[in-house]
Structure 1
Amino acid sequence: MNTRMRRAAVAVAAGAMAVSLAACGSAKESSDKSDSSSSAKKGDAIKVGLLLPENQTARYEKFDKPLIEKKIKELTNNKGEVVYANAKQDASTQNQQVDTMVTNKVDVLIVDAVDAAAIKSSVQKAKDAGIPVVAYDRLAQGPIDAYTSFDNTTVGKTQGQALLDALGAKAKSGKIVMMNGSSTDPNAAQFKAGAHSVLDGKVNVGKEYDTKDWKPENANANMEGAITALGKKNIVGVYSANDGMAGGIITALKAAGISVPVTGQDAELAGVQRILAGEQFMSVYKPYAPEADAAAEMAVALAQGKSLSTVAKDKVDSPTTKAVPSVLVPVTSLTKDNIKDTVIKDGVYSISEICTGAYKAKCDALGIK
């Protein structure tokens, strides 16, 4: 995976790292969690439970899992063990996986929740068993000990601004469609809020959807419905919360003979190639290595009873827990103009992977050789 390792990201905004999410009224205080983990300090021979939410999005199996495994091996002198499970977008399955990890007495859990609220009771079970929990990528509810993700509101702002830039003077000449992510994912709400903060008053939103399970086929069906409701001549752009959904959206647009700017997120290979082809306007490049490294570092520290103060410089509130020690990773807008300086330069994809078949001419035209 060395060729897949991502380096430090290009920061979008200097203040992006100072995020504090709104907390509900009766939230419990969270502090440095080293005192809430198992009292017995452990050495390098730790067992880390890693629970990822689904395998339809390319990132989890291709980037997150191997990056976390590699970092934990580095931090534990190859003595640490990672026990892995993927919930395949089923919250009940993930809760059962947590129970199994608790039964098997892992030393720490890294959990990317399918459903941030549904995981709450399982997080509590882990806590009661003396197993600290790192919320990964999505802010899980319950007594989590640490959290790492990207600045999700800034992701939405980045997408919204890119769509405005693409529309230019045509921003209010018709309607845009907003294809948000799954309502069970707290990140989706933050992307949506960030996008609205930029777009509101500057575009006319004709249709807006929360897309069940982030599935491309659901986005495709929603887009077909939007085209029918609004009329294909009246749609000037589409806000898509990620690349997978953008693929489904673009399929529907092409079938209707519509060519308009479409946003995305995750810099998936197919998304990068659609950007090259002019079918998708942009994606949000999220460097997974810093996020994965932060999760591994916090997990190892918690398992070994060490302080998080040298790793987690931010604090984030969840609906149930205040001031969770956190690491927030900045992002950048990916367009055809900076493919070479981002995903290729950082070794995410090689030129040969991107510039295949029909995309080679597009690469040549942009000097990607």
Structure 2
Amino acid sequence: MKCQLKCHYLTTSATALAFGILGVVAASAAMVSDAKVAFLMPDQASTRYEQHDHPGFVAEMKKLCPNCTVLYQNADGDASRQQQQFNSVVSQGAKAIVIDPVDSTAAASLVKQAQAQGIKIIAYDRPIPSAPADYYVSFNNEGIGKAIAQSLVEHLKASKVPTADVGLLEVNGSPTDAAAGLIKKGIHEGLEDSGYATLAEYDTPEWVPAKAQQWVSGQISRFNKKIVGVVAANDGTGGGAVAAFKAAGVDPVPPITGNDATIAGLQLIIAGDEYNTISKPSEIVAGAAADIAVALLSGETPKAEMTLYDTPSKLFTPAVVTADNLKAEIIDKMINGKPIQTAAELCTGRYADGCKKLGITP
């Protein structure tokens, strides 16, 4: 199975080159000095923010501005809490705020509030369509949705799954997340002209896996054996779909997509319960966000490759991962001198046998 998205990962030093800000490191010592920079993440439903995004941002900030302070907060899926956290970092004197909004529409007021006070705002991972931030950095979310859908369709056709009288479920992300909207748009593009009908689709509130599981359970009762696959927008919702089929006694579980390459999602692929995911090492985008923050605070204009929602933007292109390339893309690929995940992290307990079948050994 070939990937629909080619892997174009950049190390943090290469990221600096991409933005044309190698001179920022020297300039930041004098111009940024001991600035406070906030890093506001949206939820804990996905483990990526605690395990990858935050550490990646802190590591790059230490390289660029050793005396700067990172103010980290996670809103745990609560837009009101994120508003409070935003107010807190402003009161603490943050000069730049990197924000992955819980609610992309509500975040517009935060952008305006910050900019009125001369605070630089970087939209992170999820765009803020109705209020242009100073910069937007993310993976290509629309491309991700299209890629996971096309990958699933190719797999179904290669497996000679008929298109008549059957179809797919579509489990989207949160309706308040603009990035989820882009993924959803990409999924629709990927399924267009596939020959497989979309039986039903669902926007999962706050990306909560349990809500995705509950909805999929209802669709299993409704459509039963007509369901030949599920396009889920991330590993959490994909895992919820897997749990729903297992609880219903469906064996084998139809192929289900994912996104984020979480440990849980990768283990589901190893076990044969999830078909694909998207590997997007968050340290890459987090490092880029740090580069941009320091550049803006230093009076630089970070180079943009495009404008999205009237905001200068940089989008990174990740890779589709299936069982066929999991070892190459996750175990063998190095980011900042470390594998994306280690065999020891993935091949635990009941997943050990699946790892052996894929040639993965701790």
Which TM bucket (shorter chain)?
Answer: 0.7 to 0.9
Tell me the distance in 2 between the aligned counterparts of 1:219 and 1:43: 44
Alpha carbons of 1:73 and 1:148: their partners in 2 closer, same or farther (altered >3 Å)? same
- Quote the residue 1:212 is aligned against: 205
Counterpart code for 1:204 = A
Match of 1:104 among 92, 105, 121: 92
- Quote the residue 1:329 is aligned against: 316
Tell me the distance in 1 between the aligned counterparts of 2:6 and 2:275: 21
**Are residues 1:124 and 2:112 paired?**
yes
Match of 1:82 among 55, 65, 70: 70
Alignment of 1:185-264 (within 5 A): 185-201=177-193, 202-230=195-223, 232-258=224-250, 259-264=253-258
More helix by share: 2
Match of 1:270 among 264, 268, 275: 264
More moved, 134-143 vs 262-271: 134-143
Alignment of 1:1-20 (within 5 A): 12-13=5-6
- Quote the residue 1:113 is aligned against: 101
Contact map agreement 1:261 1:279 (CA 8 A) in 2? yes
- Quote the residue 2:349 is aligned against: 357
Counterpart code for 1:109 = I
Counterpart code for 1:83 = L
Residue 13 of structure 1 and its aligned partner are, at CA, apart by: 4.9
Residue 279 of structure 1 and its aligned partner are, at CA, apart by: 0.5
More moved, 154-163 vs 200-209: 200-209
- Quote the residue 1:156 is aligned against: 145
Tell me the distance in 1 between the aligned counterparts of 2:296 and 2:62: 16
Query: CA deviation digits over 1:123-166, x for unaligned, max 9?
Result: 11110110010001010242410010011111011111111022
Contact map agreement 1:133 1:145 (CA 8 A) in 2? yes
Tell me the distance in 1 between the aligned counterparts of 2:122 and 2:221: 44
User: Does the residue aligned with 2:31 lie in a helix, a strand or coil?
Assistant: coil
Query: CA deviation digits over 1:159-188, x for unaligned, max 9?
Result: 111110221132514121100111111111
Tell me the distance in 2 between the aligned counterparts of 1:234 and 1:247: 20
Tell me the distance in 2 between the aligned counterparts of 1:59 and 1:235: 30
Alignment of 1:261-300 (within 5 A): 261-300=255-294
Tell me the distance in 2 between the aligned counterparts of 1:333 and 1:204: 23
More moved, 133-142 vs 167-176: 167-176
More moved, 164-173 vs 187-196: 164-173
More moved, 92-101 vs 66-75: 92-101
Tell me the distance in 1 between the aligned counterparts of 2:85 and 2:353: 47
Tell me the distance in 2 between the aligned counterparts of 1:14 and 1:257: 37
Tell me the distance in 2 between the aligned counterparts of 1:171 and 1:197: 20
Paired residues, number = 326
- Quote the residue 1:35 is aligned against: none
**Are residues 1:165 and 2:154 paired?**
yes
Contact map agreement 2:58 2:70 (CA 8 A) in 1? yes
Contact map agreement 2:4 2:150 (CA 8 A) in 1? no
Alpha carbons of 1:122 and 1:286: their partners in 2 closer, same or farther (altered >3 Å)? same
User: Does the residue aligned with 2:313 lie in a helix, a strand or coil?
Assistant: strand
Tell me the distance in 2 between the aligned counterparts of 1:66 and 1:278: 30
| Structure 2: stretches of 5+ with no match in the other structure | 9-29
User: Does the residue aligned with 1:265 lie in a helix, a strand or coil?
Assistant: coil
User: Does the residue aligned with 2:94 lie in a helix, a strand or coil?
Assistant: coil
Q: Percent identity?
A: 37
For normalisation by structure 2, the TM-score amounts to 0.87
User: Does the residue aligned with 1:57 lie in a helix, a strand or coil?
Assistant: coil
Counterpart code for 1:127 = Q
User: Does the residue aligned with 2:144 lie in a helix, a strand or coil?
Assistant: helix
Contact map agreement 1:98 1:126 (CA 8 A) in 2? no
Alpha carbons of 1:14 and 1:361: their partners in 2 closer, same or farther (altered >3 Å)? closer
User: Does the residue aligned with 1:276 lie in a helix, a strand or coil?
Assistant: helix
Query: CA deviation digits over 1:49-95, x for unaligned, max 9?
Result: 1110011210000000011011001001x111101111111111111
User: Does the residue aligned with 1:184 lie in a helix, a strand or coil?
Assistant: coil
Match of 1:66 among 51, 55, 61: 55
Counterpart code for 2:210 = E
